Structure 1
Amino acid sequence: MEIRKIRLNNVGRFTDLEVAFAPTEKHASKVTVFVGNNGAGKTTILKSLATSLSWLVGRIKTDNGSGSPIAEDIVNNSTSSSSIDIFVRSTGHPTEDKSEGFRWTLSRTRKGHPSKATSNLADVTKLADYFRLHIAIVDEKASVPIIAFYPVERSVLDIPLNIKKSGKPSDQLDGYDYSLSGRVDFSHFFEWFREREDSENEKGIPLSVMENLAKTVTPAQNHILSELTAVYLASRDPQLNAVRNAINAFMPDFNNLRVQRQPHLHMAVDKAGRTLNVNQLSQGEKTLMALIGDIARRLALMNPSLSNPLLGKGVVMIDEVDLHLHPQWQRRLIHQLTATFPHCQFILTTHSPLVISDTKDVLCYVLDDGELEERNGLYGLDANQVLLSVMDTDVRNSEVQARLDKLLELLQDKKLKAAKALFEELSADLPPGHIELTKAALLIRKLELRSA
């Protein structure tokens, strides 16, 4: 399943905005990125997508289920009503019109105003019925698409490991729980991980036993260790393996995520060969681990018949995808997303120039005052070029840049005395080895030699 277009009428700051999403004829990737200043409307687009898709999720989970309404406070102040139109394609659906796909409209009229718009949800019901009935009648292990929205408020504040017994077995459609509510709670990921690992250890050889055996076995007993290792690997939970593999693909220095019970119950991970309590990781490390783990968990739940659940399909929306991340991770983020989850469509927002310049074929939009502009040819640009040409931001402090420009102007005009005075002032303010001052020093030296 892929989102092809969305149209917003009188939603937030948008009077009439239509947006197409990758893949398109010009962009082979499945990644669309929005950039723009705070308040430009990036989050409004993602939340509108989540609101519209919540009706699909609601009707997949239950017959005639409901989704979220358009919030009244985002109806444009100058109008009485707003609407969100969405166009979705679902490859393999037997009744899909290949030219039209599935379209539905969600409308909202402000209280106290006459109704001018109506919702049309016939297609969302048709699409949801296909997924729901296919699972119930054709194949109970048939895949369903992940549909998830990770808002900017996401963070790992707690790592609860106490399992809340619900009395019902894990269900495939549990992958939709809290997926579009705008309040993703990573605590569900850690609780799910603990429960699955307990079940894994009950059915096979616990990891702690294997670790102790590896330390005590003698060379003559290696064949026994090899046989036990084979039994251990065969008993590993495929859903947990999907999560472990996803985290390791994103964070190569991190592996063997697990629950440890000594000296107290905690989540542990090996980082560069050293075992750490997950609570000891930075906020960026924890949030990225939980984000990737949660996507993998949902894919594992929703694709029970796939040998590699990470190959599942669907739509993932992440607001401020660079949140808490070191620039090194920002630079390879999109590549890692598409390599780890190759069949998922990603719709992202970012403030980082590094995110949008390191991957080919990404569809990038710049939002400015309610207007949308497509920007191409960003692959390979350095961060300064992206800041200037895409994000309309100076690469350095504007006052310093003005003084450096003035220094260059004085040198070009051969006003050596004034240039040397300004050079001394800048040298006192800027750190040693500043590249622009180093260039200026060479020019000053040339002028001095010519004067001599």
Structure 2
Amino acid sequence: MRLTKITMKNFAPFADGEMEFPAVEGAEGLAEVHLFTGENGTGKTRVLAALMGALGNLIPLQDRVRQDSGAEIEVFASEWGGLWRFRDGAEDPKTPSMPIQMDIFDNVFAMGGSGIALLEEAQSGTAQDLKIARAHECLTLSGAVGGSGIIQRLMKLRMGVALERDAAPNAQEAGRLTACLQKLEQAICEITGHGFALQVQQGRELKLIAQWDGQRLFFSELPDGLRSLLNWLAGWVVLQSEHFEHSADPLSCAVTLILDEPENHLHPAWQRRVLPALQKLFPKAQMFVVTHSPFVVSSLNAGWIHKFTRDAKGVVKIEAPKKASRGDSYMTAVQEILDLTEWFDPETEQEIADFETSLDKAYANNGSSVDEMRLKADKLSKRSQEVTNLVMGLVAQFDRTAESGKAKPKMEPKRNIKL
């Protein structure tokens, strides 16, 4: 099952309308990704909350919508004419959440995650007592995926791997749990650029530890970026392996993934590797991701980008989805998708603006304004080599124009000038 569209009415801050989720063509073996971008306050996470409501967890949406708001939301799915409707702060009993409609939860499995929370150290000796996580425990943006017990669930997975290897030590193919663990470890390795493995430390009490970058570390000793990744990514792997317990390849089963700001705690080098690794790890997934990172945006080669924009009255409109293209730089993402035109710190930006104003005056009046322009250019040139290249290039262009007696040339926006 895949979600195809959401319609919204009286759902602040959005204008009434709809948002479509086209399929991705020509990307076999990669998850379908829908990337939500826009400045703070444009409602990106509110849309995630609406999708989560359709998939079995109403709490995030109810926390964001007053009962008297008159909000009406519909979420459509591709199979069986699937429809979920939300009105007056509650779901329409005629169209309950999709797991209930399907009556076969295997066909509608969804998980959520956020880059904000960190994996917490915990006792791992109660892994055998863990219960299968319920829908609302799998779909959360507030912390540990699957309710409490990610460490315990990882321990259970690791012990299951040991049992598989004991049962078939000479098997040519890895068992289902072994394959899940290997894929998780490989994904972490691809994102961080360092070897990663989960190991069990023996002692009075068995304890799960991580081997990362050649060191054996407790989870509390890991970098925050890695603890953030493990909190939702490892959680997804163990939850999917539990849910699809009869599948030989659980991570290749269809699933819906909701992810809020995966770039939190991550260095840009890691940010640019997250989506490509996820798309390979969960090849049959449909993913909805909110991000403010140009590195995450530019890393998407196969998927759709949904841009949220606010008008002067504060009403948010969602542009038609733009197909992600291969080879876009993060600077393209900064300028064209995230609408950030500034390259420098605010103080430098203001001085550049003042210089450009004086440059316009110098073109209009070859008098004292020329001296003013040169003073501002000289002051700016003391800031950095980048600023010097930018400003002195414009001054040189002015000098050539003045010498030739030609009219002022048509100026390109300064942000298009290569530094």
Does TM, scored on the shorter chain, surpass 0.5? Answer: yes
- Residue 121 of structure 1 and its aligned partner are, at CA, apart by 2.0
Deviation at 1:87, TM superposition (A): 0.8
- Give the residue type in structure 2 aligned to 1:3: L
Partner SS, residue 154 of structure 1: coil
Shift of 1:402: 4.2
Q: Take 1:399 and 1:264, find their aligned partners in 2: how far apart are those partners?
A: 57
SS in 2 for 1:14: coil
In structure 1, the gaps of 5 or more residues are 56-66, 91-95, 111-116, 133-142, 207-229
Unaligned 5+ residue runs, structure 2? 404-419
1:32 aligns with 2:34: yes
1:8 aligns with 2:5: no
- Residue 238 of structure 1 and its aligned partner are, at CA, apart by 3.0
Q: Rate the CA distance shift 1:349–1:259 in 2: closer, same or farther, 3 A.
A: same
Contact 1:13 1:76 in 2 (8 A): no
- Given the two structures, how large is their TM-score scaled by the length of structure 1? 0.71
Tell me how far apart the structure 2 counterparts of residues 87 and 375 of structure 1 sit (CA, whole Å).
17
Deviation of 1:269 after TM superposition, in Å, equals 2.5
3-state DSSP class of the match of 1:37? coil
1:51-130 alignment to 2 at 5 Å? 51-54=53-56, 68=59, 71=62, 74-75=65-66, 79=69, 81-90=70-79, 96=80, 101-108=81-88, 118-121=92-95, 124=98, 127-129=101-103
Distance in 2 of aligned mates of 1:276 and 1:165: 20
Shift in alpha-carbon separation, 1:33–1:443, aligned structure 2, 3 A = closer
- State the match for 2:415 in structure 1: none
CA apart distance, 1:425: 2.0
What is residue 413 of structure 2 aligned with on the other side? Answer: none
Amino acid at match of 1:75: R
CA RMSD in angstroms comes to 3.9
- Partner residue in 2 for 1:58: none
- Equivalences for residues 240-319 of structure 1 within 5 A: 240-252=178-190, 253-261=194-202, 266-319=207-260
Q: How does 1:383-422 map to 2 (within 5 A)?
A: 383-393=330-340, 394-404=342-352, 407=355, 410=359, 413=363, 418-422=372-376
Instruction: Confirm or deny that 1:163 pairs with 2:125.
Output: yes
Structure 2 SS opposite 1:87: strand
More displaced 10-residue stretch of structure 1: 174-183 or 338-347: 174-183
* Alpha-carbon offset, residue 377 of structure 1: 5.9
Q: How many residues align?
A: 381
1:285-331 per-residue CA deviation (whole Å, 9 max, x = no partner) reads 11112322111112211222333222111100011122222111222
**Any idea what the Cα deviations from partners look like across 1:64-113, whole Å, max 9, x if unmatched?**
xxx65952761386x4x3332111124xxxxx3xxxx2113232259xxx
Give the Cα separation in 2 of the matches to 1:377 and 1:323.
25
Are the equivalent residues in 2 in contact too, given 1:70–1:107 (CA < 8 A)? no
8 Å Cα contact 1:106-1:120 kept in structure 2: no
CA distance in 1, matches of 2:27, 2:266: 26
Cα deviation, 1:199-247, whole Å, max 9, x if unaligned, reads: 55467569xxxxxxxxxxxxxxxxxxxxxxx827789763254033223
